[in-house]
Structure 1
C-alpha cells in the first residue's frame, strides 16, 4: 500500500473503526459462547448481530466514499487521469 493510499482518511473512518472494534469484541465473546456450549440459536442470534454491524460499517464506508470521492474521480478523469475513476468504479462491486 502506498503512502498516499495509507493516508486516505474520511471523517467517517473513526466511527467505522469504533464499529469494527465493537464487532471484534463481540466476535471474541461468541467464540467463548461456542467454547462453553451455548445453544446454537443463541450463537446464530449473536452472529447475526455481528454481521449486521459489519454490513453497516461497510455501508458507511462506501456511502462516505461516494459522497467525497466521486467529485474528485470525475475531475481527475476530465484531466485524463482515469485511475481515480477506475478506483471509484471498483468500490461499487462491494455494494
Structure 2
C-alpha cells in the first residue's frame, strides 16, 4: 500500500529543492570569494523565491489531495496550512 504522505508531485518538488540547494551552494561560494553584496543578495533572493514556490506547491497539493475527505480535523489543518502560505 502506498504511503499516503507521498504525493505524485513530491518527486518534482525534490527536483526543485535540489536545484535550489545547488543554487544556495553557489551563493555560499560567492560569499567566500568576495563577490559584490548586490550580486549575492540578488542570488539569495532567487534561492528564497525557489523555496517559497516549492513550499506553496506542496501546500496547494496537500489541500487538493489530503483535505476534504471527511476528516474532523480538516478545517483546523486548512487553517494551519493557510498560515504557512
TM category, shorter: 0.7 to 0.9
Show the 5 A alignment for 1:51-90.
51-72=48-69, 75-77=70-72, 82=73, 84-90=74-80
5+ long unaligned stretches in structure 1: 1-5
Q: Is the 8 A contact 1:23 1:54 kept in 2?
A: yes
Give the TM-score normalised by the residue count of structure 2. 0.86
5+ long unaligned stretches in structure 2: none
Report how far residue 11 of structure 1 moved: 1.1
User: Taking CA–CA contacts closer than 8 Å with sequence separation of 6 or more, which of the two structures ends up with the larger relative contact order?
Assistant: 2
Higher fraction of helix: 1
RMSD: 1.6
